[in-house]
Structure 1
Amino acid sequence: MCLLLGATGVGKTLLLKTAKYPYLRYFLKDNHAELGESPGTLPTVGTNLTDIVVHKIKITVRELGGCMGPIWPSYYRDCSSVIGSAFMVDAANTTQVSSSCIQLLSVLSAEALETTSVLILFNKVDIPCPMSLVEMKSLFRIDDIICARQPITVLGISARNGQGLQDVLKWLHSIQE
């Protein structure tokens, strides 16, 4: 099982829907597919379990709502057989960055996750925002935390338009092997 963590509104649910149903973003017009609207989502209250199939391997992702941050650690033990956890950050919401950084450091320092692969996702890179991916990495001091006990991968994505989704799926597949 893979945990998907992050503050409220960072795009966790949309990422899972886009990964599970990539065809929802397309519609047929004049016998060819065109990009459509992203699937609608509501903020997760509680948890969502989503199965995603990557190269014929079923991967279960448990998304924990951002409002559940204080009790995330109670779910870390469920990942003992895992695999990995993904931590998502809204790259367009500068007011949320400091709290997301603190949450990330808390996740990385959790003893139950010390050998778990971690994927840090900077979402909404498609939206014009005051900070670039390089600036976000610098603000989060990614180069300093890369020396954490667990293997860490960092990706910039857009859950809305699918940018970077293939890299996320590759990561999910690689941690299952």
Structure 2
Amino acid sequence: MCLVIGAPGVGKTLLLKRLHGEQHSGNNYTHLDEAPVTIPTVGTNLMNVVFNRRSEVTVRELGGCMAPIWDKYYEGCPAVIFMIDVSNRCQIAASCIQLLDALTNATLSNVNFLIILNKIDVADRMSRQEINFFFRLEEVIENTSQKIKVIEVSAREGQGLLEVAQWIQEHTKPTVS
């Protein structure tokens, strides 16, 4: 099971709904209809992402308000997706602390991490250079035991979803039905 974590409002639920919804159209991710309506997740949300007719991965989203107890869900987790809202400058400090907290948790010391920079479609978003500066991503990647990949995504527009789906498939153990 893969975990999806991040501050409230970063787009975790929308990302999962998009990935889940595309199972019916062959994981195309290029002809997405209007973005589905979401409400903030309070607690956890389980969703299966289907990659082909016989392979799926269960993804657990942990609500942003649950950050103080995220670590209770880390045991046995093969992969973590950490989402950042690049359009919310007020939330960057909190997201940085949450990311570093997850990366330094001993239970996740050998877990693959995907950092999703979401909302790249928003006009007033931070640039990749600003994100790298605030999060010191290059230094974090160099100095952690985890393998980290960073992907820029627009969950609303569907940009980057195929790359996210491929990462999930490569770094988790699918359930064969």
Whether these two folds match at TM > 0.5 is: yes
Q: Is the counterpart of residue 107 in structure 1 residue 102 in structure 2? A: yes
Cα distance in structure 1, aligned partners of 2:161 and 2:32: 15
Give yes or no for the alignment of 1:165 onto 2:153.
Answer: no
The letter of the residue matching 1:83 is P
Quote the residue 1:40 is aligned against: 37
**Residues 5-154 of structure 1: matches in 2 within 5 Å?**
5-22=5-22, 36-55=33-52, 56-77=54-75, 80=76, 82-147=77-142, 148-154=144-150
CA contact (8 A) 1:3 1:64 kept: yes
Structure 1 stretches of 5 or more lacking a match?
25-33
Structure 1 residue ranges, 4+ long, deviating more than 4 angstroms after superposition: none
Task: Output the CA distance in 2 between the equivalents of 1:96 and 1:102.
Answer: 10
Q: Distance in 1 between matches of 2:39 and 2:172?
A: 29
Q: State the distance in 2 between where 1:51 and 1:23 align.
A: 9
Structure 1 pair 23–36 and aligned structure 2 pair: CA distance change class (3 A): farther
Instruction: Report the more deviating stretch, 156-165 or 128-137.
Output: 128-137
For residue 27 of structure 1, what is the aligned residue in structure 2? none
How big is the shift at 1:132? 1.0
Structure with greater contact order relative to length (CA < 8 Å, sep ≥ 6): 2
How far residue 176 of structure 1 moved from its aligned partner, in angstroms, is 3.0
Aligned alpha-carbon RMSD (Å) = 1.9
Structure 2-normalised TM-score?
A: 0.88
Q: Is the 8 A contact 1:125 1:133 kept in 2?
A: no
Q: What does the per-residue CA deviation read over 1:47-89, in whole Å, with 9 as the maximum and x for residues that have no partner?
A: 0000001244211100000000000011111xx1x42000000
Distance, in Å, in 1 between the alignment partners of 2:170 and 2:98 is 25
C-alpha displacement of 1:35: 5.3
C-alpha distance in 2, partners of 1:17/1:170?
Answer: 16
Letter of the 2:163 counterpart: D
1:68 corresponds to which letter in structure 2?
A: M
CA distance in 2, matches of 1:170, 1:93: 27
